[in-house]
Structure 1
Amino acid sequence: MTRTLTMAAAALILSAAPALAHFQLAYTPEVNLEKPGEVSMKFFFWHPMENGHAMDMGAPSELALYFKGEKTDLTDRLAPVTFHAAHNEAQGYEATIPVKRNGDYIVAFTPAPYYEESEDIYIQQITKSYLNKGGAPTGWNEPVGLPTEIVPLNKPTNVIAGSTFSGVLLSDGEPVAGAEIEIEYMAAPPDMETNRPTEPTAGPMPGGTVVAITDADGAFTFGIPKAGFWGFAALGSGPATEFEGKELSQDAVLWVRAYDME
């Protein structure tokens, strides 16, 4: 759990497939907070790297908040909202997250399985994102017991652009070796008022989806080249493999925030 990869061991693999990765968002623009309050967060299912197609979401299974090891169920705070993506409209959700004391707040969102007709499978991306108040570290590197999750090995709310980010993939609490981690940049973060993408600041990489591979301890490392939000998705890493008689890809998703050093 404490071992990280060298950059050479975690060299990027560029898939031959087109960059069409599904990514579940759990998004708010400001993750480092100075004052207590209610933080608005959006939950959209989207193709964020190419500012592409968005998918309709069913009623989520759970929205949970973890603070200093205590879990708070916020599912009843979720409300449907329309996401006006660049090429279509889709149903997403929004909620407010209560932030009071200093420390790390882990937001864990479990969406309903989504049926991907083109592949005849269901996709369920169990997604974590982080808030921090006051700069105090209080457990950002601890697992929260999700069926599958990526545990950060670098503080996820202030990664330095140009440095590296490392994480460990878990399934049922155990490290997963040899797993593919899809990596995407949120090129056009949603506007919180209009629920529309902002102007893109990057586009998809040549060669398809950017991928890293976990080592024998379930760890991976990626060099963060640009400030903004970066998503990491381990496809099919969860223990559940079937839903309503069809294949289920139960994925672990993690979002981190990177900043330029000034």
Structure 2
Amino acid sequence: MLIAKNFTAAAVLLSCALVATSANAHFQLLYTPELLRDKGGNITLKMPFTHPAANGHVMDVAAPQAFYSVRKGRKQDLLESIKTTTWSSAENTGTSYEADVTLRGLGDHVFILEPAPYLEEEEGAYIQQITKSIVNVGSLPTDWSTDFQLKAEIVPLTKPYAIYAGSNFRAVVKSAGKPVPNAEIEIEYVNYQPDLDTNRFSDQPALVPPAPAFITQTIFADQNGIINFTLPFAGQWGFAALGVGPDTSYQGKPLSQDAVIWVQAHEVKAK
């Protein structure tokens, strides 16, 4: 029992140290708990701009520029459904957004968020993360592999909602439909369970990284823009391709126009 208590205490202390000392990636969330659903119905999508792997700082952001869904090739504008709210982490509470939407019909419901550029004052530059999250209803695949010709986009080569924990996610990084060779990709795990009722991350991590270097994983696409990453744990993972969009400045300052996609790995359960 003493060993277990000491281990738990050490894990919490290490987690707190990682939050305080690591330089973590910014990630635009487009979060709902389950990306693979048996039935349609109402869901809420949360949109904080934050650091999900470390329960870190929540950035105050302006209202999104665009928000829409695509199902079976049909686009639905959802910008008017967005509401201003807040999101809390271990560090602070910041401005956030959310939307209540209804999933009607089987297939892939692709949600695309184009946030307003955010000024990172320490770097004197803006960040805009064009973000996709694909919610499937009924295990019927329809639109998940579609290239939407976004300025910055990660196009899946693996169904992003049907990945075994321990297997690979593959995708191609694109800029306006063209592959981006050798793109830099940051990857983070949603390590603190989001509470949709209170708009905050949980206090306890799902896992404790061995060292700060593990909080944000970094890989590079190959010469064809293809990325390949093994998801070691069940849950949601974010992939951010940095600076791949064609827009490189905003309001007289440098702009990193990134592509983000969220995927979900699932535990293998034996009978």
TM over 0.5: yes
Aligned to 1:241: 248
Are the counterparts in 1 of residues 28 and 48 from structure 2 also a CA contact under 8 Å?
yes
Q: Which has the higher helix share?
A: 2
Q: Given the alignment of the two structures, is residue 115 of structure 1 paired with residue 119 of structure 2, yes or no?
A: yes
* 2:226 maps to which of 189, 200, 219: 219
Q: Given the alignment of the two structures, is residue 60 of structure 1 paired with residue 64 of structure 2, yes or no?
A: yes
CA separation in 2, counterparts of 1:150 and 1:123?
17
Q: Given the alignment of the two structures, is residue 207 of structure 1 paired with residue 213 of structure 2, yes or no?
A: yes
Q: Superposed, which structure 2 residues align to 1:40-79 within 5 Å?
A: 40-79=44-83
Give, as a single letter, the amino acid of the residue that structure 1 aligns with 2:242.
Answer: L
Aligned to 1:38: 42
Aligned residues: 246
Percent of aligned pairs sharing the same letter: 47
Are the counterparts in 1 of residues 149 and 175 from structure 2 also a CA contact under 8 Å?
no
SS at 1:207 equivalent: helix
Are the counterparts in 2 of residues 82 and 92 from structure 1 also a CA contact under 8 Å?
yes
* 2:152 maps to which of 138, 148, 155: 148
With normalisation by structure 2, the TM-score equals 0.88
Output one character per residue of 1:184-236: Cα deviation in whole Å (capped at 9) or x when no partner.
10101310100010231124544363111111111010011000000000110
SS at 2:97 equivalent: strand
Larger radius of gyration: 2
RMSD after superposition: 1.3
CA separation in 1, counterparts of 2:186 and 2:106?
32
Aligned to 1:98: 102
Identify unmatched segments of 5+ residues in structure 2.
1-20
CA separation in 2, counterparts of 1:97 and 1:233?
25
Output one character per residue of 1:59-86: Cα deviation in whole Å (capped at 9) or x when no partner.
1001110101111110000001111211
CA separation in 1, counterparts of 2:23 and 2:163?
24
SS at 1:255 equivalent: strand
Identify unmatched segments of 5+ residues in structure 1.
1-16
CA separation in 2, counterparts of 1:31 and 1:210?
22
With normalisation by structure 1, the TM-score equals 0.91
SS at 2:195 equivalent: coil
* 1:258 maps to which of 237, 262, 265: 265
CA separation in 2, counterparts of 1:35 and 1:165?
25
Output one character per residue of 1:154-180: Cα deviation in whole Å (capped at 9) or x when no partner.
110121001111110000110000111
Deviates more, 1:137-146 or 1:164-173: 137-146
Aligned to 1:7: none
Aligned to 1:137: 141
Give, as a single letter, the amino acid of the residue that structure 2 aligns with 1:202.
Answer: L
Q: Which of 1 and 2 has higher RCO (CA within 8 Å, sep 6+)?
A: 1
CA offset at residue 18 of structure 1? 4.4
Give, as a single letter, the amino acid of the residue that structure 2 aligns with 1:22.
Answer: H
